[in-house]
Structure 1
Amino acid sequence: MSVVDAAGKPLSNSVLSKESKERIQALYRELIKALDLKPRYGQRMMIAEIAKALGSVSADEKGERTNDAGIVVVEAGTGTGKTLAYLLASLPLAIEQEKKLLISTATVALQEQILDKDLPNLKKNISLPFNFALAKGRGRYLCLTKLDKSLQQLSGILSTVDLFEQTPEEQDRELYENMLMKYASGKWDGDRDRWPEEIEQSQWSHLTATHRECSNRRCPEFDNCAFFKARQAMEDADIIVANHDLVLSDLSLGGGAVLPAPEKTIYVFDEGHHLADKALNHFRLEFGVRAQRQWLKQLETGIEQFVAATGLPPALMHSLQEAPGHCRELQSHFSLMWPLVFDLLGEGDRMRFEFGRTPENLRDLLNNIKAPLQPLLQGLDKLVDMLQQSLDAKGEGEFSRDIAESWQAPMGMMLARAETLWEAVTWLAAEEKEGELPVARWIAKTPFGEDWDIKLSASPIAVADQLRKNLWWRCHGAVVTSATLTALNSFSNLAWETGLPDWAGFHRVASPFDYPNRGTLEVVQLASDPKSDQFQSDVEDWMRNNIDKTQGTLVLFSSRAQLEATRDTFIRDWYEYLLCQNFMPKSEIVRKHKERIDGSKGNVIFGLASFAEGIDLPGEYLTHVVIVKIPFAVPDDPIQAATSEWLETRGRNPFMDLTLPAASIRLVQATGRLIRKESDTGKVSILDKRLLSSRYGKLLLDALPPLRRI
């Protein structure tokens, strides 16, 4: 298979050393024999292309990449065995090049499969020794210092300093004592997800620290810290398993903050089609007007309590003396903001600013906020730095150790909040230069306790530049893979969204499944199409006559409203056969569905987008997939709308360039739920006749798995 760029242009062939090639081939033969697997052409091709790309990377004496190589994109059809393919291709090269191999997933389910099944299988059955570890953010780990403080507060030994008015509850004392005992005895490693029962966020918030609260090596519990023990395990590991959110967070901090630095890492982004969306969510900034007023009152009170308890050293005299006044001035600005955004919102729940231009009166108010916020931020930064210095083991610093231990964490949280507010206000008030990509900016109603708030949000419409600068140009190597990376049979959409460089190689590896002989695809021509008021009634009539309740069926809806309306119609007659998303957890739906099928009973699942990918129901668990309509994105999504607006100014067609490719990927994923193993059989029914009547329908159909059409 030749290497091509996103536009299909041939690229020069990479060079993989003979020794590396033979080593990878030998490991593949070992694994095939040990697991009694059938060699697959597509899997071998995937191994070859990844190895060729990663094996051609050259580096300088510092270990940094010196050539345009090492980035490869592989769309691997269902059944390829892509996890073992990328592990076998990349692990030997990572070890040879003294780099970390970082596997990143979008979902917990795939992460657990890799950790609990794929990596243990690989380690057991190949002659190449390696270690692996799971990477999580600091917030998933116990902070011993905060646990100790919470128990002291509950015992009355330590006075409470909690600026968020969330002191530990007496009812949680037994849980906290049990945690301390199990952690001390080695029966628990401090990982929230490994505690045997679910921990409520209200309980966990007292037990974990942000990077601003953590005093790192100054902490008396550093040697016993769960988070830093996990980091040490990562340092000793050849393979690190993480998720896209953690990778993006680490990159935004400059790389190397939690995970290894990009220059020392070969990344594998499994479920790579989620990378751009995850990045968009990561770079979004927002704040609620009422929430900020409440926080500023807490901050004002906290600073006054701190000054009363500690006095002020000369270095902080000016900064903190005026801080309560800055808090009051900011509260006044947010009080003025409320009627302004309330009027802008009118009767709606959300309002997007055209071309990302914040209204002038709101922009002026945002700029006014920056005047008192800047000195407040500088004062908090100086205070937190002095508190951290005072935690030094030598006891040096402006504050006693007791004062520093009591106040460092809450003031660190306040500083983090102030920094986030500064970034959000700055971005919301900014104006892009002519020719720059616009930023999506909007306001929306949002729940706030028992009341509601108005939230101001800003988000980039594309993250290509950020990913290009922070990831692709810096990493030693990278693999992007998924069963669905192309849209309408092209990589162009993926390349534009993620900023993949010109030198990246793009490949498609076909599924080994015999689709035409294993399943059928029917586009049902109902009397009406989804734009008609009659459509819901026609869908329900078709379902009554064509869904076999004795089999395993998945019905996929594009909107929650339609799912719930259809459920209301069928729930009485189909009560013992029907399981619906949003009415019980996804994992429970899958468990009950399998239980019924195993008991020779039929079952029907009503699901939304999250059931259209990632869910695995092989064999008799799923023999009929019903897709109610083409899964076009919600038209009022503010980022989607802003992107469409920008495309139109460039003379492009937003429907063809944005909406249709996204729908194509979702439709391929939904159809792909049917055939999960070589022996699977069944049918897909799509109840949207626009696939046959519209000009774009053929493009969507041609991108689907080659099921036999009826």
Structure 2
Amino acid sequence: MLTDAEKDAIRHHYQAIGKSLPGFRPRSAQRQMLACVAQAFARSKVREGDALPEREGESIVVVEGPTGVGKSLAYLLAGCVMAKSRGKKLVISSATIALQEQLVNRDLPFVLQHSELDASFALAKGRGRYLCPYRLYQHTAESAQAELLAPDPSMLLWNHKPEKRELEQLKRMADAFYYRRWDGDRDAFDESVEDRLWSRVTNDRHGCLKSACPNRSECPFYLARDQLDTVDIVVSNHDLLLADAAMGGGVILPPPIDTFYCIDEAHQLAKKAINQFAADHNVQQTLWWLDKLDATVGRCEGLIGRAELLVPQALDAATGCAQALGELAQILTPIERLLPSSQEAEPTWLLDNGELPEALAGVAANLNVSAATLLKQLNAVQDALTEARRDKSDQGALIDQLASELGFFIARAEPFAAVWALMCSVPPEGAPPIAKWITTRNNSNNRRDWQVSASPVSAAADLANSLWRQAAGALLTSATLRSLGSFDLLLAQTGLKWLGQTECVALESPFDFQRQGELYLPAMLASPKDAPAHTAEIAKLLPTLIDPQAPLGTLVLFTSRRQMQEVFDSLGEPLSACILVQGSLPKSVLLARHAERLAQQQASVIFGLDSFAEGLDLPGEACVQVILAKLPFAMPDDPVGLTLSQWIESRGGNPFIEITVPEASIKLIQAVGRLIRTESDYGRVTILDNRLLRQAYGKKLLAALPPFRRL
């Protein structure tokens, strides 16, 4: 239950913002969200002893907060007060690093400055965003320059002889870090660093020497992670949050049991979680590093204890993996659907319903056991090297090099083992299957190779077990969370449907849609299913919808690049001269050009695709008309989507009605949401798809849209 002290604190800090900012107007929806977050976190169960409390979603709230509500202020204020009061950390997760930086550089400083809240915060990033001083110094020491060309395993990351400019940039990075002009954060370096060069001076958890590293005290990653322990608020992103949860929680971010989560842009969480739990590997590439493994593991033999046991077991496991992969290649070579063809650049064999055919079952079982054994043995050798470094300081440099090389192999053995664990997994009865597929690829030597992939089709169970049942409390929020007016799709995809006490709240929009906007549905003759006719009709209609003489902004959204280009090519002057096509310029340049045209009292039209339908902010006359070429149906053509559709059909369901239409509803609302961004915006949404009026699902899609005036 929310205490009086907590209520008073939230009220005081909210009022302080009002007093500090002239013109600040409290919003009823914002106050409602403040209360929802605070009350949910107040229902968090306290751990008794070592056992986790049984959680049924009582401290989880899902809040759909339309644009203009002021969501970030609400969850930052309520979340911070409740976290400090209850002795928890507040972890805020956004969809991208860009949104992270917006929170850190703008939203959080604003709230703390004007609310009189006393709180500290830090930005959490993955290890790959930070410099590894040990690796950098190795590459820039005078005696180590030749090592840049050494035939070590990580040479796979360099497919060329290092150029002079790259060596010079490494030297500038080393000087800047050594003299403390740079903190080792890639995003803070004053030069752009190419990925292939950055890969030489960063590290992953497998190659990191951890406490044995001679540069541990100045390591940017560990300094940043140590800082997370001292602050009240940690700003993360979904990928980092999910990676931490997959490792058991508390590895990078604070432990879930001690954390209140505020997950912004929560509509992206489920798909990101599926990607997090997927795995793949290439057969020939795997055989390549298995062949190189012998030399590295063999060099460890004279340095580690129990070498007579660990080294032979690791090598035996590697041999077993190589033999099984050879058998796999023999099985895959004659399979007709995997043979290269002119129709399909990379032929793919999708295993029906995720079931292994008899031809694959035996070799898959062998690979599952041998890959898991190999990973276990390599980790044991790595641990033994760590122990050896404490006792053999005179050979520290050699041990460090071997540990780094071994980390390279462990980083590849991990997804290798994960693929075959998924390939051999059989979900419980009634649960969705695992998507399993094999794709023919040509490697760098133009030799035929195969990529073996596996992925859950739903992350619901993983999220429920690794996050929701572990966390002290959680808020999931976004401007669009409901599909067809219901939270059911989100709850199913995130696993919250199994936590029956989860609260769902849809806040009212602060905008007067009846006054500010209108929805126009022209009587289209051509169906979008007849692509040529539909494209021709759009090209004929656009000049009647857009005035090239009016200094106003228009956003035209397409679901396919081909149709977008064909429509543009069909338009004549003067309209075509007003159009900026996505992809013709970098996004930032295109938007700047759009603003310049409007400032010069010229018309400006943006042709965009799916990525411009979400997150694009064009307030005022920068966008007074949004035109949608057709409904944003995403028919499943990827292995994960196809496997899910097969499963739904096998249970007597209709994947189009159960998945495609609900997901299209969310995308449609997001696209329409580009029009009204402030209380003074106005304009029209035009949808050039007759299925809205002719198909039964069209009424449901229309009912979920904002209540514009209908034309």
TM-score scaled by structure 1? 0.91
> Could you say which residue in structure 2 is the equivalent of 1:544?
543
- Per the alignment, residue 162 of structure 2 pairs with 169
Give the equivalent residue in structure 2 for 1:255.
249
Unaligned runs of 5+ in 2: none
CA distance in 2, matches of 1:120, 1:369: 52
Q: Which moved more, 1:594-603 or 1:109-118?
A: 594-603
Instruction: Say if 1:338 and 1:570 are closer, same or farther in 2 by CA, change over 3 A.
Output: farther
Closer/same/farther in 2, CA of residues 415 and 66 from structure 1, 3 Å limit: closer
Please state whether the residue corresponding to 1:205 is helix, strand or coil.
Answer: helix
CA distance in 2, matches of 1:692, 1:356: 38
2:470 is the alignment partner of 1:474: yes
Give the Cα–Cα distance (whole angstroms) in 2 for the partners of residues 574 and 189 of structure 1.
50
Deviation at 1:356? Answer: 1.2
> Matches of 2:223 and 2:92 in 1, distance apart?
20
Partner residue, 2:289: 295
2:583, 2:349 → 1: CA distance?
A: 27
Partner in structure 2 of residue 438 of structure 1: 433
Distance 2:329 2:590 in 1: 46
- In structure 1, the partner of 2:406 is 411
Q: Report deviation, 1:420.
A: 1.4
The alpha carbon displacement at 1:592 in A equals 2.6
Structure 1 match to 2:692: 691
Mapped to 2, the partners of 1:626 and 1:329 lie a distance apart of: 57
Paired residues in the alignment total 693
CA shift for structure 1 position 85: 0.8
Specify the alignment match of 2:146 in structure 1: 156
Q: Aligned pair in 2 of structure 1 residues 300, 606: CA closer, same or farther (>3 Å)?
A: farther
Q: State whether residues 304 and 388 of structure 2, in contact with CA within 8 Å, keep that contact through their aligned partners in structure 1.
A: no
The match for 2:3 among 11, 17, 27 is 17
- Which residue number in structure 1 is paired with residue 60 of structure 2? 71
d(CA) in 1 for partners of 2:370, 2:46: 48
Please point out which of 26, 34, 40 is paired with 2:12.
26
Q: Check 1:345–1:596 CA distance in 2 against 1; reply closer, same or farther (3 A cut).
A: farther
Instruction: Please say if residues 305 and 388 of structure 2, whose CA atoms lie closer than 8 Å, have aligned partners that are also in contact.
Output: no
Distance in 1 (alpha carbons) for counterparts of 2:304 and 2:463: 45
Structure 1's 106 and 67: CA in aligned 2 closer, same or farther, altered over 3 A?
A: closer
| CA shift digits 1:594-639 (9 cap, x unpaired) | 2332333322222221111111111121111111111011332322
- For 2:522, give the aligned amino acid: V
What one-letter code is carried by the residue in structure 2 that aligns with 1:19? A
Alpha-carbon contact 2:353-2:647 (below 8 Å) kept: yes
Contact 1:161/1:407, CA 8 A, preserved across alignment: no
**Shift in Å at residue 318 of structure 1?**
2.2
8 A Cα contact 1:340 1:362, kept in partner: no
Q: Which residue of 2 aligns with 1:555?
A: 556
CA–CA distance in structure 1, aligned partners of residues 203 and 592 of structure 2: 35
Which one-letter code corresponds to 1:32 in the other structure? G
> Does 2:243 correspond to 1:243?
no
SS at match of 1:236: coil
AA in 2 matched with 1:607: G
For the 8 Å contact 2:279–2:453, the answer to whether it is kept is yes
SS of 1:400's equivalent?
helix
Written as runs of structure 1 = structure 2, the 5 A alignment for 1:302-701 is: 302-303=296-297, 313-319=307-313, 322=316, 325-326=319-320, 328-330=322-324, 332-340=326-334, 343-344=337-338, 347=341, 348=344, 349-370=347-368, 372-392=370-390, 395=392, 400-445=395-440, 448-449=443-444, 451=446, 453-500=449-496, 501-532=499-530, 533-549=532-548, 550-570=551-571, 576-701=577-702
Kindly report which structure 2 residues correspond to 1:90-109, keeping only aligned pairs within 5 A, or say none: 90-109=79-98
Distance of 2:207 and 2:479 partners within structure 1: 41
Paired residues of 1:55 and 1:70 also in contact (CA < 8 A):
yes
Mapped to 1, the partners of 2:294 and 2:575 lie a distance apart of 57
Given residue 661 of structure 2, which amino acid in structure 1 is its aligned partner? L
Q: Identity across aligned pairs (percent)?
A: 37
- Cα distance in 2 between the residues matched to 1:374 and 1:676: 52
Distance 1:579 1:298 in 2: 51
- What is the match of residue 37 of structure 2? 50
Decide whether the 8 Å contact of 1:513 with 1:678 is kept in 2.
Answer: yes
Query: Displacement, 1:20?
Result: 0.9
> Which one-letter code corresponds to 1:54 in the other structure?
F
Other structure's SS at 1:176 match? helix
Verify: 1:134 aligned to 2:117, yes or no. Answer: no
> Could you list the per-position Cα deviations for residues 543-594 of structure 1 after superposition, in whole angstroms to 9, with x for gaps in the alignment?
2332234421211111233223334444987664332233333333223322
Distance 1:45 1:309 in 2: 63
| AA partner of residue 224 (structure 2) | A
* Runs (5+) with no aligned partner, structure 1: 1-14
Instruction: Check the 8 A contact 1:215/1:391 in 2, yes or no.
Output: no
1:336-391 CA-partner distances (Å, limit 9, x unpaired): 25414564467443332221113221333323434654554344223222222233
Q: Is the 8 A contact 1:330 1:373 kept in 2?
A: no
Name the CA distance, whole Å, in 1 between partners of 2:573 and 2:218: 56
Contact 2:338 2:439 (C-alpha < 8 Å) held by counterparts: no
Cα offset for 1:40? 0.7
- Within 1, Cα distance between the matches of 2:46 and 2:481? 29
